[in-house]
Amino acid sequence: MPKSPSLAPRMAAIDLIASVIGTRMGLGEVLPRPPESFRDLPPEARARAQRLAVETFRQHGRADTLLRRAMRKTPPEPVLWVLRLAVVEMLGLGAPAHGVINDAVELVRREEFPKLAGLVNAVLRQVAEVGGWDATPVPRLPDWLRGALQNAYGAKLTQAIEAAHQHPAPVDLTLKAGIPAGLEGEMLPTGSLRLHDPRQISALPGYTDGAFWVQDAAAAMPVQLLGDVAGLRVLDLCAAPGGKTMQLAARGAQVTALDISAARMARLRENLTRTGLAADLVTEDALTWQPDQPFDAILLDAPCSATGTIRRHPELPLIRARDEVKALQSLQAALLDRVLDPAQGLLRPGGRVVYCTCSLLPSEGEEQIASALERHSARLLPLDLPGLPPEAQVQGGLRTRPDFWAERGGMDGFFMAMLAHVA
C-alpha cells in the first residue's frame, strides 16, 4: 500500500509513462485502458497523475540536463523516469523536495531496483540543492524531426517552435452560437474563444447545454475556409472525434462523417448528442467507401504525424519515428487521389476539397499538394483568414505554427489548402 497520499498519483504517473513508452501509443490512446494504478484512483488524483505524466514528458529534457550533472552513468530506464518525474515536480512545478524525494525512493523500490534507492535519494537531494532549472537550455526535438524543421523553417524558427513546445497549450472553444452566460475568455480573430481560466471542461457554463466543444483555434480554421456551407452536402473524411463535423453541422451543412475507427466514431456520436447536432455517421475505410451520390464539398483531415500538436501531446517526439511518417505520407497521397479523381465519384464537378493536417512537416502539407496537382486536373483556391501573420501564407495554402500568436499563448501547427477540379 502507498505510504503517503502523494505516492499513489506519482505511481500512476510513472505507470502511464511506462505504458506510453512501452506501447508507442499516445497518452490519449492509453487512457481509455489505463494501468490499474491509475484506474483505481479517485478523479482528482487521476487528474493529478495525468498532469504529472504530461509535464514529465514535456520537461524531461530539462530534467536530463540537471541529472547528467549529478550522475556518472545513466540508470535503467524505469529508474530514469522516476528521477525525471521527481526533478520536474520539484524544480519545474515547485513541489516540496522532501516529499517528492521520499516518494521517488519508494517508487524505485517498487520498480524492483532497491539497490538504487540510495543513489536516487542522493542524486535528487543534490539536484534540489543546486537547482538551476531556469538556466537549462530549451530541449531539442529528436534529430529526425529537428532536421526536417530546420530544412523547412531555418534554425531560428525551429528554436522558436521548440521554445513554444515547453508551454502547455491554452484551451480554445468552438461555439455553436453565442457565448454562454458566465463563460469568460478572449475572442480570437478567427472566431474561437480562448479561456482565461481553463477549469474542468464539463463544469463550464454551457457544457451541459452543448453550447461549445474544445477545439484548438488552428484546428477550427479548415472548416472556415469553406465559407457558407448551409444546405450543402459535405463529406468529413477521417472525421472522429468530430470537432470539424460539429462545425459543419452548426453551419447548416448536411454532413456525412466517415472514419475507419468504431471506437473513435462512438466518441463522435457522443459529441453530437451533447451538442444537439446531426450528421450521418459512416464507419468505413475512406479508400474504398462509395456514396450514393457525389458531395458538394469534402473536408479531408488526413492522418498525419501530429507534430503540430506537441504542446498538448508532448510524448509524441518520444514515440514517433521517421519510418512511421513515411507510411502516413503514402496514405495522405492515396486519400488525396481518392477525393480529387473525378472517376471516384466522391466530389461533384466544381466541388471543393479542403485538405489539412496537424503537422509541421511540409512533406505532409505543401509537398503533398504540389504532388497532387501534378497527378490531377485541379487548381488551388485562394485562402485568407483574419488575424494570421503574413508568414502563414505559404505556397499551396496556409500554415500555422506553435510560435504564432505567442502573446496570446500560441496555437497548434496546421497546414490547410483548398482545391477544386479544373472545369
Alpha helices in 88-201 (DSSP H): 97-110, 117-130, 143-153, 155-164
Topology match between the domains 7-135 and 172-421: no
Average pLDDT, the chain: 94
Tell me the per-residue pLDDT of 60-104, one tens digit each, with 9 for 90 and over.
999 999 999 999 899 999 999 999 999 999 999 999 999 999 999
Cβ atoms of 193 and 173 closer than 8 Å: yes
Q: Name the fold adopted by 7-135.
A: N-utilizing Substance Protein B Homolog; Chain A (1.10.940)
What are the beta bridge partners of residue 175? Answer: 212
Instruction: State pTM to two decimals.
Output: 0.93
Q: What is the pLDDT of residue 1?
A: 43
Domain range annotation of the chain: 7-135, 172-421
Which cell goes with 251?
453551419
Catalytic annotation present for 358: yes
Q: What is the pLDDT of residue 423?
A: 66
Supply the DSSP string of 170-231, one letter for each residue: P-EEEESSSPPTT--EEE-TTS-EEESS---GGGSTTTTTT-EEE--TTTTHHHHHT---TT
Cβ atoms of 394 and 404 closer than 8 Å: no
Catalytic residue among 238, 304, 356, 358: 358
Tell me the per-residue pLDDT of 376-393, one tens digit each, with 9 for 90 and over.
999 999 998 889 999 999
Q: Left if phi > 0, otherwise alpha if psi is -120 to 50, otherwise beta: which for 273? A: alpha
Residues of the chain with pLDDT under 70: 1-3, 423
CATH of 172-421, one of 4.10.320.10, 3.40.50.150, 3.20.20.70, 3.80.10.10: 3.40.50.150
Tell me the per-residue pLDDT of 206-215, one tens digit each, with 9 for 90 and over.
999 999 999 9
For the chain, counts of helices (H) and of strands (E): 15, 13
Q: What is the pLDDT of residue 197?
A: 78
Q: What is the pLDDT of residue 3?
A: 62
Q: What is the pLDDT of residue 33?
A: 92
The residue count of the chain comes to 423
Backbone angles phi, psi at 4, to 5 degrees: -145, 155
Residues 6+ apart with CB under 8 A from 75: 83, 113, 116, 119
Q: What is the pLDDT of residue 422?
A: 81
